[in-house]
Amino acid sequence: MNGRLLYFFAKSFLKKISCLDYVLIKGEALSMMAYGKEGQRNTTDIDILTSRENVAKFEKILLDEGYEQDNNTRESRIFCLSKSHQIIPFAKQIDIFKTSVDINFDILWGEYIGKRIDIKKFISESAEMSIYGCKIKTLSPLKSFVQLVLHHYKDMNSVFLLATEKCFKIDMFRDIYNLLKNNPKDISLEKLYAVSTGYEITPYVYYILYYTGLLFEDEMLNEYINAFAAEEGKELLNCYGLDELERRKWKVDFQTRLENDNLHDIIKNDLTDKDVEKIAINKKVFLGE
């Protein structure tokens, strides 16, 4: 959907949540930070990041605004809150247009067993931004970069997503490159390294920077890649899987992953019974299959 239409139809909802603690992530907010204006990314939904304790408040407002959830069962809700970073998306049909809102309460994945990031604190220093005439809250460029890195890493390594979506796209790395390149002071090497060390996510930052560097040759980017290079990050490069138990080596190179629309055919013979079960559960919860 055109971003302008998306925000036009969501204007009432965005106004009602102005008093709540949240930030918009990805989408048009990222377009503004990475490219300097709206409409530079393919925006199909509105992504909200809030603390877990505020999720119910957003759900109520969305329901009051006529948004609905598919497969909204007690079991699905328990699964989302305990094993995911988001709840089941909300959608609203308006004439021929369908608007969607995703509520996220974490920027790490459900399988993550390391140090968690306090989302309430993470979003506490939000900045105001105007998108198509709507006043919204969003993250600083530095925190947006952190969120985007973790989001891309999750997408590129989740066995569920690898089995159901195209998870390697040039646009993902273009967003990373432009967000970094167009915000050199806000996302300086010193600041990014300090915040990444504090959150204990340096291997994932290296992973995303490394692959971005394969597509965008840039002296500044190379400086960041070299600074973040460490054995733990290098060990992730040719693997997929979000935890040690499901992590496996890729049998194809990065270029093949980037060009292939069906990575499930490549990994399916390496999936365990537990992986297959996990994919089936996620399909049922998030895709209604």
225-240 pLDDT, tens per residue? 999 999 999 999 999 9
Radius of gyration for the chain, computed over Cα atoms and rounded to the nearest angstrom: 19
Q: Spell out the residues 6+ positions from residue 60 whose beta carbon is closer than 8 angstroms to its own.
A: none
The pLDDT value recorded for residue 105 is 98
Predicted local confidence at residue 1, as pLDDT: 56
- Domains annotated for the chain, with CATH where assigned, are 1-139 (3.30.460), 140-288 (no CATH)
What's the predicted TM-score (pTM) here? 0.96
CA separation for the pair 134, 136 (Å, rounded) = 6
Query: Residue 220 has what pLDDT?
Result: 98
Task: Extract the tokens encoding 16.
Answer: 């009602």
Mean pLDDT of the 124-144 span: 97
Residue 172: the pLDDT is 98
Residue that has been written with the tokens 């408040």 in this structure: 57
Q: pLDDT tens, 8-62?
A: 999 999 999 999 999 999 999 999 999 999 999 988 899 999 999 999 999 999 9
pLDDT given at position 81:
86
- Average per-residue pLDDT for the chain: 95
Residue 276 has pLDDT above 90, yes or no: yes
pLDDT tens for 66-108 read 999 987 788 888 889 888 999 999 999 988 888 999 999 999 9
> If pLDDT is split at 50, 70 and 90, which confidence band does 149 have?
very high
Q: Alpha-carbon distance 9 to 263, whole Å?
A: 35
**Model pLDDT for residues 104-123, shown as the tens digit of each residue:** 999 999 889 999 999 999 99
CA 114/CA 205 separation, integer angstroms: 15
